Chains A and B, each alone.
Chain A
């Protein structure tokens, strides 16, 4: 019987298997950041243990770093606790070491899920872990990549293995061309809307079909990034020529004859014909419209030409109560058209949508126009220093600035609001990030998840618009 891509990745990393299915799985790449690693290194120190393979570690500070005041150095980090976490990571890197460390202020620093692929430190066929649930992003390269907790970070550091059990196989097929203005973000929001936030729990999801094949690596990363919002720890896409072309020449990618050997192996990283999936779901890409979340869970999502749903029409009482609570928190009235919802702030960034392609798409919408006067802040936070430099070479920073947007230093920023970039209570944000949970972007803040082009257009108009029909206000 044929194997799935996940079956192959699993089998090629299996070190030890207990009778009950508990496995030791070998880890190739361990991404480390400042918020979930301190306690792990402390644990190693207390037990007198050393990292098993320092060369597997790629580290950076991204979660709590400020996006302004970089000229002041570490003193620009005003929050003393954030500063302590950054300095603790610096100290742990000095003590324990890494393959490469991009500290705060380094030109190649950035969101860990942006810099891994960008540096060629994420390669097809790897197992990749990080103390961050959006590690699923790296599955776009035909990797088995998932988020782990801090105890597991310590375990991987000490043993180079993860104690885990095999997940079930799920395949989500998306077939057909996407309409103009419909992006990878809308594809994944549509998938979550279909299967729910727990729809992939216990499964590794392979995203497949002609729509996925046609996406760039940036788009595939956006889709895999949000696999966790569908409950799946790991999402992945099979390797093809798009994958290989993206990696060629990256700093940590193999070179010369080794590149040829590696690429030949990587091309085998696909599900075999006839491989068995425990669950399959198929979506028609032609039916996917731009999506906007209305509630406090990513599954609370509708197409932009729809309206805020009415809880009175929900028969399940627990679901109805959840909807009512979400609408109260979001300050929304049932049956309000999505395009009538006004916006206070716009955030373009995060490990979901902060890569060069995302910034180019948003800039194309913004070019020659002005941010609506009713929008207090439109923030653009590039995913990494490398993305930022590339965007500046292309003049994207000028386009955003001329339109009244703020152009910031890289980091996770307002996706989770651990740094000073936050929503105030009651503020409503069109955000390209991945979670619309209560308080995610700041206590009392109201998040609507959208694509970069939808966020950019909302910034111009001051409310959501259907990007497919939008012709733009005169500047």
Chain B
């Protein structure tokens, strides 16, 4: 997994609440058995509309998506963060996320940032007002800032996830450091509740 330290990227505003994973990557694009190539299916139905935000020239090359509440609700498909990343995004900023999407994102070094609703409103305003609006997302400092540093918001991130992002760590390898503990737990459970085995 790639490290995620500081991202300075163009911002694309997606001004809709409850964006579900069926929209992020419609089912007709789920048929691959690989993790790559899903970018072509990203928001496939919405992209048929020439006016859709990702079709506008000013947002070409964006790596930060600005969203509204309950982003990523619905299906557990990890193809959603895969598609966002394959398209070029590394980060989504929104007031809230659905739980499974939120977790899936971190597993792929893709960063979901939660900011307060008023802060997100402010970023939407600035993004709409200034062409080529960029933001700087700093994982170490847990901050989202404008490039001139005039606006800066702090975000929360769980320390373990932060550590994995900053170091690009393989979570399975980390968990297997506890293999003895897992084995001991399993032996005890098997003895106590044999019907689960």
Contacts and interface: CB of A to CB of B under 8 A. Distances in A.
Interface in A20-48: 20-22, 24, 26, 28, 35-36, 38-39, 42, 47
Interface residues of A, number: 76
A133 B175 contact: no
A467 interface: no
A439 B74 CA distance: 13
B130 interface: no
Contacts of B159: 20
Contact of B193 (A24, A79, A125, A132): A125
Contacts, number: 178
Given A151-B108, A201-B98, A88 B33 contact: yes
A438 B74 CA distance: 12
Interface of A: 15-16, 18, 20-22, 24, 26, 28, 35-36, 38-39, 42, 47, 49, 52-53, 55, 64, 79, 81-82, 84-85, 88, 123, 125-126, 131-133, 147-152, 154-155, 158-161, 163-165, 197-198, 201-202, 228, 231, 233, 253-254, 258-259, 261-262, 265, 297, 318-319, 321-322, 325, 416-418, 435, 437-440, 443
A150 B158 contact: no
A159 B196 contact: no
Contacts of A417: 27
A158 B172 contact: yes
B35 A39 contact: yes
Nearest to B184: A15
Interface string B7-22: 0000000001110101
Nearest to A21: B158
Interface of B: 16-18, 20, 22-23, 26-28, 30-35, 45, 68-70, 73-78, 96, 98-100, 103-104, 107-108, 158-160, 170-172, 175-176, 178-179, 181-182, 185-186, 189, 193-197
Contact of B76 (A88, A133, A322): A133
Contact of B158 (A53, A165, A258): A165
B17 A49 contact: no
In the complex, the 6 A-B pairs of residues with the closest C-beta atoms, listed nearest first:
A81-B31, A151-B107, A149-B104, A38-B33, A254-B195, A149-B78
A416 B27 contact: yes
A152 B158 contact: no
Contact of A15 (B76, B176, B181, B197): B181
Given A18-B160, A150-B78, A163-B171, A85 B16 contact: no
A131 to B, nearest CB: 6
A36 B77 contact: yes
B196 A155 contact: no
B68 A437 contact: no
Given A39-B35, A231-B73, A158 B18 contact: no
A325 B16 contact: yes
A159 B176 contact: yes
Contact of B31 (A22, A85, A149, A443): A85
B20 A163 contact: no
